[in-house]
Chain A
Amino acid sequence: MADASPQIRLPGRNALSGRPAITHANQDGGKPGLVIEELVHLGKLNIRGAADILPGITAQTGCQSLPENNRFVTIGERHLAWLGPDEYLLLCEAGREDEIQTRLRQDFEGIHAAVTNVTDGLCALGIRGGSVRKVLAKGCALDLHEEVFAAGQCAQSLLSHAGITLLATGETRFVLVCRTSFAPYVVDWLVDAALEYGVSYRT
């Protein structure tokens, strides 16, 4: 899982560079209800194309089938998420996106498909904790019940007016992808919404 592996840091700024860590204790004692970490420099590729992109996808990501609607598939460190009927988001190890993009483009030669590197345009956050669903529900209209939005489900939606892509990687953990320019707002909003449960933003 991308949000469980040690962080790879590349030189250069990331979406939340320079922001100090934030900690508000859980008033009931115990662990904070929400822990937020930026998945620094996580590689992100937007992939467009019909079913004929599968051979290239399989060769370069190891993914054996394209994800169904509202779902993502996990292959080792990578997640391939469904975004629309002919659109996918590949989250891959930091620093690998250029190489995967180049290879996919070669594999897609002659078919109607596109691969766009959106690594720096989007910010990925790993969010987890016992209250993570309650916090998200304050600003997101998705049905976030753990039996409805279960592990393996993903959705594009709005979190307090900011466009997000949400991947449920477990019952109490998610990968939240938003635009880089919205990342400080999203983190501030999450911290504020999670005050009552205790929150830790780690850098």
Chain B
Amino acid sequence: MLLINCPHCGPREESEFSCGGEAHIARPLAENTLTDAAFADYLFLRDNPKGLFLERWRHAAGCRRWFNMARDTVTHEIIEIYPMGSLPKTKAGKVAHAASWRRETAAEAAAKPAKAKAPRAKKENG
């Protein structure tokens, strides 16, 4: 049984929480031109590593808020808990994030907004 430190409620028993699976899966934007195979990486494929894993968790029976957790799937050691929408801050967490096969997928590339074009020079009309 894990003792999980909810960012809002403090340490609570694992049974109060539900695990939401792999974290940092960004949805491709609507204007993408992904193939079905590339979209399947986003929609269906989930990592299942032996070792450090970045997961989403929710304090289901408590404050009902989501957060991210870096957890070792072998030792169950919780390395880090960090807010939704942010990336891990520990060295091991950063390494796990960078090393994920997902970083190289077309689906993830399509989840980033296209780079804004350089602003056009304003026409001076006197």
Complex interface bits, A58-97 against B, C-beta within 8 A gives 1, otherwise 0: 0000000000011000000000000111010000000000
Complex interface bits, B1-37 against A, C-beta within 8 A gives 1, otherwise 0: 0000000111011011000000000000000000000
| Alpha-carbon gap, A161 to B61, bound state (A) | 10
In contact, B12 and A69 (Cβ under 8 angstroms)? no
Q: Which residues of B contact A (CB under 8 A)?
A: 8-10, 12-13, 15-16, 61-65
Choose among A141, A142, A156, A163 the residue that contacts B63 (Cβ–Cβ < 8 A): A156
Q: A112-165: which residues lie under 8 A (CB-CB) from chain B?
A: 141-142, 155-158, 163
Q: Which of under 10, 10 to 19, 20 to 34, or 35 or more describes the interface residues of A?
A: 10 to 19
Residues of A contacting B63 in the complex (Cβ-Cβ under 8 angstroms): 83-85, 87, 156
Residues of A contacting B8 in the complex (Cβ-Cβ under 8 angstroms): 69, 84-85
Choose among A69, A85, A158 the residue that contacts B16 (Cβ–Cβ < 8 A): A158
| Alpha-carbon gap, A142 to B65, bound state (A) | 18
Residues of A contacting B65 in the complex (Cβ-Cβ under 8 angstroms): 84-85
| Alpha-carbon gap, A70 to B10, bound state (A) | 9
| Alpha-carbon gap, A69 to B5, bound state (A) | 14
* B121 CB, min distance to chain A CBs, angstroms: 40
| Alpha-carbon gap, A70 to B11, bound state (A) | 12
In contact, A155 and B9 (Cβ under 8 angstroms)? yes
Q: In the complex, which residue of chain A has the Cβ closest to the Cβ of B10?
A: A70
Q: Which residues of A contact B (CB under 8 A)?
A: 69-70, 83-85, 87, 141-142, 155-158, 163
| Alpha-carbon gap, A193 to B44, bound state (A) | 45
In contact, B16 and A84 (Cβ under 8 angstroms)? no
Choose among B10, B13, B15, B62 the residue that contacts A156 (Cβ–Cβ < 8 A): B62
| Alpha-carbon gap, A39 to B86, bound state (A) | 43
| Alpha-carbon gap, A8 to B33, bound state (A) | 64
| Alpha-carbon gap, A156 to B64, bound state (A) | 10
Q: In the complex, which residue of chain B has the Cβ closest to the Cβ of A85?
A: B8
Q: Which of B8, B12, B16, B61 has the most CB of A within 10 A?
A: B61
| Alpha-carbon gap, A158 to B16, bound state (A) | 7
| Alpha-carbon gap, A1 to B58, bound state (A) | 33
Choose among A70, A83, A155, A158 the residue that contacts B15 (Cβ–Cβ < 8 A): A158
